[in-house]
Amino acid sequence: QDDIFERAGIRRLSPFTVPMLMPNGPAAWVSMDLGAKGGARTVVSACASGAEALALGQDLIRSGRADVVVAGGVEACLHPFTIAAFAQMKALSTQSVDPEAVSRPFDVRRSGFVMGEGAGMMVLERPEFARARGVRAYGTLAGSAVGSSANHITASDAEGQAFAMELALRDAGVAPADIGVVHAHATSTESGDLAEAEAIGRVIGSHAAVTATKSMTGHMMGASGTVGAMAALLALRDGTVPATRNLDELDPRVDLDVVRGERRTGQWTAALANSFGFGGHNV
């Protein structure tokens, strides 16, 4: 619509421009489609939005304000302006020889992330309500935590990330030793990957199988937190942790068991999914 405005003027703008642009639009459309009247809330915490939406949904169910919550994240960000903006702040990868190998979390040759688009939605239910409906649960959202690093507008530090992870484990009643799978936020930036690796090592240790699916999907921004939680959930259900793509040489500063090459199979009971966003949002 901005291109139309610049090219043809105000009278060619769609009357639906504002509903298409407003951040609460997706939640509003979903509520209308489902007839959901318990509140159509929009969480805006950059790349942690999808994960924070799940945490909000959990809070609504725990407080008794809802029996069922549809929560998740969506993103449609691929536009020359957005790409240029991230490129100017040196966050995007500068590699161009092999596009399929550009997104390489934890690899010594990583040079930034690849932007992607997508959506992820999950249905959260009160256990007794789900049993009454006779549905099969994929798993349990046992705990969550939302924190802020409060130190930089575009960076999240290991201390803030570790604090949020510790709070989530405490909320879930799960010990670090119980975590068998970690879905890392791992965008493929040097500072971000190293901070998260330090935080995971500090809180969980090096025993868990770590995966970073942004190596395959790119960074879906506001959708990435929900998609990451889904990947962690399915790893538990299917007993399979996907390998991190393009991880040819693990950065020696990353002291973690990052799954690479071939998928990892096994049986685990608990997983942790990290999401961190510009502004210091840690979920």
Residue in the structure block whose two tokens are 């130190």: 151
Catalytic option among 77, 152, 183, 219: 219
Q: Write phi, then psi, for 30 (nearest 5 degrees).
A: -65, -45
How is the beta sheet containing 257-258 ordered, strand by strand? 257-258, 209-211, 179-183, 270-273
Q: What is the full DSSP assignment across 116-159?
A: --EEEEEEEE-HHHHHHHTPPPS--------EE--S-SS---HH
Catalytic residue among 77, 152, 183, 185: 185
CA neighbor of 150 nearest in space, from 136, 168, 163: 163
Report the SS3 class of residue 9.
coil
Terminal-residue alpha carbon distance, the chain: 33
As a whole number of angstroms, the distance between CA 281 and CA 271 comes to 20
Catalytic residue among 47, 77, 79, 281: 47
Whether 185 is a known active-site residue: answer yes
Active site residue 79: no
77 is catalytic: no
Instruction: Indicate which residues carry an active-site annotation.
Output: 47, 185, 219
